[in-house]
Amino acid sequence: MEQNVHEAHTALTKEQIQAVINQKLDNTIYWLNKAYDARPQDPAAEKTLLELMAELQKMKREANENLGVKTRREPKERQRHTHGGFNAHSERTPRP
């Protein structure tokens, strides 16, 4: 009986496991992005960083799928604005 109570207190929920995995992977991706921004102009280093970031994103997706957590939203139907006006998204410039 005592063992069952102890197990109940130490067991993590799927949501807690997902939160830990996502936090760790997001933190790693954040620092890889920082390294990518500060990289010397070395094509090999750039390729390696991009591959690492892609692999981490894949790991995050797979971990969430294994936990049965939906990570992607269903695409919403796009709303068209009929009024005139500035569309900030149309004026974006690509990141150097």
Give domain limits for the chain: 13-70
Q: Which of 65, 61, 56 is nearest to 28 (CA)?
A: 56
Question: What would the pLDDT profile of 27-79 be if each residue is shown by its tens digit?
Answer: 888 888 887 777 667 788 778 888 888 888 888 888 888 877 665 554 555 55
- pLDDT value at residue 5: 55
Which residue did the predictor score with more confidence, 35 or 90? 35
Which one-letter amino acid corresponds to residue 43? P
